[in-house]
Amino acid sequence: MDSFLGIDTSAYTSSLALVDEEQNIIADERMILQVGAGKRGLRQSEAFFQHIKNLPFLFARLSSYFDAPVKAIGASAWPRRVEGSYMPVFSAGFSQAVVLSSFTGIPLYSFSHQEGHIIAGIKGNEALLGRAEFLAVHFSGGTSELLHVRQQQGGLLDISPALAGLDLHAGQLVDRVGVAMGLDFPCGSELEKMARQSSGENLPLMPSSVSDKGFSFSGAETRARKLMAEGISYPDIALASLRCIANTLEKSILQESDKKGIKDVLLVGGVMANSIIKERLQARLEHPAVGLKLFFASPRLSSDNAVGVALAAQFILRKTEGGRSH
């Protein structure tokens, strides 16, 4: 059985994946980039250098899975498929993909990191493949967007932005609040554990700002820092911060659902692996009085991965006679 290779080098994760011609995941190998204690992120040059060091180790891990010939390569080349979308970190993986394709003659297909997230999210949520269109949430450390997704006949997906973050991304809010509390970066899992220690009673108010132009999290960060200075318990601040993200999403999804008449919503990205946010959205948006249907990516496929671009390469090659590179 043939296999399909995926390569993704995002802001904080080096990823390789193999899927087979039936879209089963053969291998999913990743290395999280190292961020120094107390820091809130990495410069692109630092992240690029770590990717270059990580990729040989990941290919060595993947070598034991190369039992079947690789039929095509999928790689993330840009953050989003829009004009001007660029981050140097994606060049680390894409350049490796170009070398492999040139040397072996294996066709290479380029995708956006966002397309990879959405396609990985559909894995396990195949009911969405029967929908002509749906909404998608992509919330991570580098992107906060609500998207309108249409199925393309004979192709992949037509993705257009509906609402976007106007300042901080949701993942940045999580990490900035967490680092200020002394948690290790990235802070998502630790902040969730801390939030679980809160009783949930008398939570401090955290602003949730949504308009026709998009949504904002900078006010929430300012409020969280003020609450810390006032001595409010960290578990309560952690839970209030996650509730703020959930409330912002709830307002945004309802706004776009009412505008476009769409009831199906796919949620992907590292922030959407947070179970507190997931539980609140399910309780409020899937309530019979509201009637939305939420499709969450599996926790592992919510975070950055190369599975999505590997699946996309398999799909494109299956639809393209001769499997030309593009």
Q: Which CATH architecture has domain 3-121+303-319?
A: 2-Layer Sandwich (3.30)
**CATH number 3.30.420.40 is the correct assignment for the domain at 132-297:** yes
Q: What is the pLDDT of residues 262-307, one digit of tens each?
A: 999 999 999 999 999 999 999 999 999 999 999 999 999 999 999 9
Q: 317: which residues sit within 8 A by CB, 6+ positions away?
A: 4, 71, 72, 107, 109, 323
Eight-class DSSP state of 136: E
Token digits of residue 322: 């001769």
Residues 12 and 35 sit within 8 Å (Cβ to Cβ)? yes
Domain chopping of the chain, boundaries: 3-121+303-319, 132-297
Q: What is the pLDDT of residues 109-161, one digit of tens each?
A: 999 999 999 999 999 999 998 899 999 999 998 899 999 999 886 668 999 99
Q: Is the pTM of this model over 0.75?
A: yes
Residues 111 and 312 sit within 8 Å (Cβ to Cβ)? yes
Eight-class DSSP state of 204: P
